[in-house]
Amino acid sequence: MSVSPVIVASGGANLASLKFALQRLGIDAPVTENPDQIRNASHVLLPGVGAARDAMMRLDAAKLTALIPQLSQPVLGICLGMQLLFSGSDEDHAECLGIISGRARRFPQDKKLPVPQMGWNQIRLGAASKLLNGLADGGYAYFIHSYALPEGDYTRATAEYGTSFSAIVAQDNFYGTQFHPERSAGLGARLLANFLDL
């Protein structure tokens, strides 16, 4: 693979995990918030943990909120990073990047289903996408989140947690996974390899 991806330094603690996951695929991806470096990368990974509003403020401070929607190379948002690609989130009524139309909503309260969802859950593959190559329908991925995107035209895989929600999304060159591919064993490694093949 001759690719030169970058990981956007969005803050949060899973940057090391993502970097190592790419290393296991033989790819060294710098972590950066430099706009030029991001613009020139072959692929852009946008991770994120924490709250949507904080993450947007960090991207704004790094002058990335205008840049990211203009990127033409493949972009993969992970977990909160995926939610940031959308119009907004009910979490603190945050406005996000607005690349994909939709809004993250909090999981409904249900005594049997603790929020955040934290653990392995099955994904159901939907509309075809190169990102899904070789993934098993019903395969398990690792999720940690309290907010989720409802199903929409952008949905490429779903999962169930009291309600059905988007586990993988795609629109044009923008992609996202609600789960953490860097912590989803073989399924996650395959998805990251698929992304770098785009």
| Contact set with other proteins (CB under 8 A) | 13-14, 16-17, 20-21, 23-24, 49-50, 111, 114, 116, 118-120, 140, 142, 144, 180, 182-186, 188-189
**Positions marked active-site:** 79, 180, 182
140-145 vs 174-177, strand pairing mode: unpaired
Q: Please provide the size of the chain in residues.
A: 198
Rounded-to-integer distance, Cα 31 and Cα 45, Å: 9
Tell me how far, at minimum, the Cβ of 79 lies from other proteins, in Å.
10
Tell me how far, at minimum, the Cβ of 186 lies from other proteins, in Å.
5
Q: Encode 89-143 in three state secondary structure.
A: ECHHHEECCCCEEEEEEECCCCCCCCCCEEEEEECEECCCCHHHCCCCCCCEEEE
Which of 103/183 has CB closer to other proteins?
183
Which of 20/40 has CB closer to other proteins?
20
Which of 107/174 has CB closer to other proteins?
107
Residue from 43, 45, 21, 42 nearest 31 by CA: 45
Tell me how far, at minimum, the Cβ of 85 lies from other proteins, in Å.
20
